[in-house]
Each structure stands twice: as structure tokens, then as C-alpha cells.
Amino acid sequence: MNSSNNIKAIILAAGKGTRMKSSLPKVMHKVLGKTLLERVINSTLEVSSIDEIFTIVGHQSEKVTDFINSTYKENCKSIVSIKQEPQLGTGDAVFKAYDSLKSFKGTVIVLCGDTPLLTSETLQDFIDFHRQNNAALTVLSTIFDDPENYGRIIRNSDNSVKKIVEEKDANPKEKQVKEVNAGVYCIEWKHVSPAFFELTTNNKQGEYYLTDIVDWSVKKNLKVQAYTLEDNDEIFGINSRFDLASANYLLNIRTLDNLMENGVTIMDPDSTWISPETQIEQDTVIYPGCVLEGENIFGKDCVLGPDLFIGGNVKTGNNVKIFQSRVSNAIILNNCSIGPFAHIRDNVEISSDVRIGNFVEVKKSTIDEFTNVSHLSYVGDSSLGKNVNIGAGTITANYNPLTKVKSKTDIEDDVKIGSNSVLVAPIKISKNANVAAGSVITKDVPENSLAIARGKQTVIEDWVTKKTKKDS
Ligand code: UD1
Ligand code: CA
């Protein structure tokens, strides 16, 4: 695409969000694991013709700017924060980008940072519609049965757009209108930007309304139109905790529908929460009570849940079973079985055909194929080879609380560790060695050997008989 066709985006994110009753700025609240602002920025970034984004920040501007800078530091498109202080309304917010766009002659798309359900496909269709019709200004609208709190699109008798009236300024007849303003606009900047010098605060809220550019453009005989969206969920704006709960619900339903469409079985959508950033392949079955947050990939024929929390950065092969567990930052290859009640975290790599059983915690470790850690163990900062068996109750003692140093445990192929052993790191148990049950191992164990480190058993014959005679 020729660079003169490139589009600039302005995202409004300066408001406090009073109705949220929160110490966080509104746009920093999360929907399915990502902030409202991140969801809007991500959809915007996916539109290829948009090459630069201006985010208008104000309330707790440092916090929001730091968040943008750290989240998008590796992004190739430019995302610039502009401060709006004080916050005098949405019209004033867009005007803050005026200096940065002084010599710009193309299309500017304006979005609100509090509408996290908008998709990039809709943004693309909206831009295409604006351009194909050679409009000076296009607003995104939809029909809501309950239009309360949204600006209403007021049309002339010939159906052309006349103006937008805010709920608080609307007369009873205007309040009946069910077509609402989504807060997304395509603006031919050269023609419409002079409007920002003429906005006033003559309204119930005493604010500079961005919506007044519609009336301004109509009066200047510029071409103004509305693009009416069918899926009205997409424009859903967050103004309260109730809206936040609804947005979580709507985004979840959209995600689960896509997964089911692609061949994933979800037994109980009502108790299943999956982030849109989670990919799941065909014929995987999700039992009730699963929460899958962050970016994850699950293979084919897996069984997840019941009752599972996935915290992000989890990647599995095929035919992996994870029950009643908590897993994050892990790679788990084919045919593994995890849980119930396992905790896997902090950079774990598990090869195929491994079993991690009940009450086992695995942290920052690698486990090679056909190894079992079946019951009640802690495996931390460790490397386990192939065909290893870790007996019930084994602990890798990786942490020295005096020096605060964490050390490594290296267990080679075919090693068998007896139940209730403590392996005090740093330590190496070489190939095919055995450790006897109940041992505390502090020295390396060579290949093919047996290490026993426990009190020797003494048997005192007839002790019980003698004891009971004496006492009676
Ligand atoms: C706005 C629209 C309304 C539309 C609705 C869609 C106006 C006047 N009204 O109303 O027609 O139906 O969005 O969701 O535009 N913001 C700033 N600076 C400010 C004020 C707001 O950056 O001075 C930002 C907020 O952070 C928010 C966005 O603009 O992300 C929208 O502001 P909000 O107060 O939520 O507007 P609504 O009353 O919802
Ligand atoms: Ca809003």
C-alpha cells in the first residue's frame, strides 16, 4: 500500500472512569487477562494500513504510559502517548493530537480505550466502507434494544445522518432512538480537523464533545455517514464493574464458540473461561471448571480438567491429560498425564510419556521421556533423565535459606529414587543408580550404585511381650 493511504489512529484513554470506583484508571482493568487498552491497541495494530497510534492519556498518565511502553516495546509500529490534562471531554482529547497531525492529509481513525470487544476485521470493514464512499466522516453505529448511556444517532427524514445527541442532552423523542454511537470514527483529517477549533461546552456535561464534529461536518456540507454494525456486542463500552463482567462473559462466549467451531469439545461453557489468545486443536475435550488465561497452545486429543487453572505460556503436544491442577510457563509433550493436584510452574519442560501425579510440584526443571513422579514430591531446579522413577514423598532440597542460594539436582537416565528421600542440592545421581527409601542424600551417587543414608534398623526380639509382662 502506498504510504499516503496509511491511516493514523487515536485511542482515547485519559478518562478516570469514575463509575468503576477504582484506584486503577478504567482502561487498565482487564477482560480475560488483558487490559481494556491492550485489547483495543491489539485490534488496531492488526489493521495493516494503520501505521501510527496516538494514545491520549490523562488520569494516572504515567502508569498508563509505562504500561504501553513496556507492553509494546518490541512492536514495529509507532505508539505514542499524548497527555490530556485536565480531561475536558472526548473532543478535547482528540484535539491533543492536533499538533502531531498538523501536516497529515489522510484518514484518522478514532477509537475509545474502553471498548475492548471490537475486532480488527470490523475496523477493516469500517475503514473500507469509509473509503469506498468517499466520506469526510463515518461513525460506527449499532442498534441496541437498551440504548441507555450511549450517544444516539439522529437521522434526517431521508435517512442521512444529522447529528449525535448524548443521553444526558437528549429530548424524550431522541431517547427513543435505538441506533447508538460506538465511539469509533473515520475522519478525513484535512477537511474535518478545523472543527476542533469550534467545539463548545454548551451541553449538560460542560464538556467538549467529539460527537459534535458530526453536526459541524453536516453544516459544512461534508459527506457524513454511519456504518451500522450487525454484531452489536463488539461496540460494548465499559463504564462500570457490571459492564466489565458482561464484557468478560461476551468475549468468553465468542472464544468458546470459535473453539467449538474448530472441533474442540467444551462440556460446560458456563464454567469454562478461556482467553482468546489460547489455541486448542481438534478433539481436545474440556471438562467443567477450567480457567485458561494468557497465551497457550494445546494439541489434539487432550483432556483438560475438571477444575484446572492455566496461567499462560503453556504449550502441549497431543493426547496430554491434565486434571485438577495449576500449570503455567511449561512445555508438555505428547501422552503426558498431569495431576490431580499438581503445580507446574516457572519454566518447566516435560518430554513425552511422562507422568506427574497427585500433589507434585515441579518448578524450573526438565523431565525426559517415560519418567514418573507419581505422588507427593517437590522437583525444583532439577534435570531428570529418561525412565526415572521418583518415589512418593521425594524432595529436591534446592534452597539454602542461610545463603539464599538455589542449587541444581541432576538425575540421569534410569535412576530410581526410593520413597521419602531428600536429595540435598547441588547433587548428581548418575545413570542407573538407586537411592534407598528414606535416605537423605548429600553426596553424589555414581553410576549403577545404591546409596542408603538412613539409621540402620534394629530389631529387639520379644520386646513387646517383656514390656507388657513387666507393666502388669
Ligand atoms: C462516548 C460518546 C458516546 C458513545 C460512547 C460509546 C462522547 C461525548 N460520547 O460516551 O456518544 O455512545 O462513548 O462508548 O464522545 N476520554 C478522554 N478524555 C476525556 C474524556 C474521555 O480520553 O476528557 C476517553 C475515556 O478514557 C474513554 C473514552 O474517551 O476511553 C470515552 O469516554 P467516556 O466518558 O466513557 O464516554 P461515554 O460517556 O461512554
Ligand atoms: Ca464509555
Atom 31 in ligand 1: which residue has the minimum CA distance? 112
Asked whether 379 and 343 are in contact (CB, 8 A), the reply is no
Ligand having the closest approach to the CA of 18: 1
CA-closest candidate to residue 281, choices 266, 300, 258:
300
Q: Comparing 7-235 with 241-451, is the CATH topology the same?
A: no
Examine the residue annotation and report whether 29 is marked as an active-site residue of this protein. no
pLDDT digits (tens), the chain, 472 positions: 345 689 999 999 999 899 999 999 999 999 999 999 999 999 999 999 999 999 999 999 999 999 999 999 999 999 999 999 999 999 999 999 999 999 999 999 999 999 999 999 999 999 999 999 999 999 999 999 999 999 999 999 999 999 999 999 999 999 999 999 999 999 999 999 999 999 999 999 999 999 999 999 999 999 999 999 987 899 999 999 999 999 999 999 999 999 999 999 999 999 999 999 999 999 999 999 999 999 999 999 999 999 999 999 999 999 999 999 999 999 999 999 999 999 999 999 999 999 999 999 999 999 999 999 999 999 999 999 999 999 999 999 999 999 999 999 999 999 999 999 999 999 999 999 999 999 999 999 999 999 999 999 999 999 999 999 876 6
- Among 84, 85, 112, 201, which is best to mutate for testing ligand 1, by the most ligand atoms less than 8 A from CB? 112
Asked whether 251 and 117 are in contact (CB, 8 A), the reply is yes
Residues with CB under 6 A from ligand 1: 12-15, 27, 56, 58, 84, 87-90, 92-93, 112-115, 150-151, 164, 166, 180-183, 209-211, 237, 239
User: Cell triple for residue 234?
Assistant: 463488539
Pick the CATH number of 241-451 from 2.160.10.10, 2.30.36.70, 3.20.20.150, 3.30.365.10: 2.160.10.10
For residue 334, the tally of other CB atoms under 10 A from its CB is: 18
Which atom from ligand 1 is nearest to the alpha carbon of 208?
Answer: 8
User: Cell triple for residue 324?
Assistant: 485438577
Dist. CA 221–CA 244, nearest whole Å: 39
Which atom from ligand 1 is nearest to the alpha carbon of 13?
Answer: 26
Which residues, including other chains, have CB under 8 Å from residue 363's CB and lie 6 or more apart?
A: 344, 345, 346, 348, 378, 379, 380, 381
Ligand having the closest approach to the CA of 209: 1
Asked whether 366 and 353 are in contact (CB, 8 A), the reply is no
Which fold is adopted by the domain 7-235? Spore Coat Polysaccharide Biosynthesis Protein SpsA; Chain A (3.90.550)
Query: So where are the chain's domains?
Result: 7-235, 241-451
